[in-house]
Amino acid sequence: MGDREANGLAGLRIFIAEDHYAIAAALVMTLERFGCSVVAEASSAAAARTLADRVEADCAILDLNLGDDYCYAAAQRLRERQIPVLFISGYRDAVDLPADLQAIPHLLKPVDAESIRRALQQITT
């Protein structure tokens, strides 16, 4: 059984928001190896907010701080639309995280493929 079949993630449509090109590219490669498809990408909080209103995705992976602002509004909109969210960040603690977003799983960068796989399985089952 290959990577795609073994991980149970094949076919997932994922929206990612990450402002560092190299991290975004590595994330896309990891997700594609799992058999997922990245259906939209944002590199700013403003773009993430806009895409959160219309993206057709099974889940989203959002960097907490996208350089221009935090991605809280995008995460809130995605959750309103019943799209599960996974946060990744370089921050150990998100002290200003709104109360309604505190239960969202949060992976600390650098994020390894196995942690992403487990977190995606958790939020999509």
Cis peptide leading into 84, omega within 30 of 0? Answer: no
Topology annotation, domain 3-124: Rossmann fold (3.40.50)
Please give the pLDDT value at position 102.
Answer: 92
User: Tens digits of per-residue pLDDT, 86-109?
Assistant: 999 987 765 578 999 999 999 999
Estimate the crossing angle of helix 21-33 against helix 113-124, to 10 degrees.
70
Please give the pLDDT value at position 3.
Answer: 44
Please give the pLDDT value at position 2.
Answer: 43
CA distance 123 to 59: 8
User: Tens digits of per-residue pLDDT, 16-71?
Assistant: 999 999 999 999 999 999 999 999 999 999 999 999 999 999 999 999 999 889 99
The answer to whether residues 123 and 83 touch, using CB atoms and an 8 Å cutoff, is: no
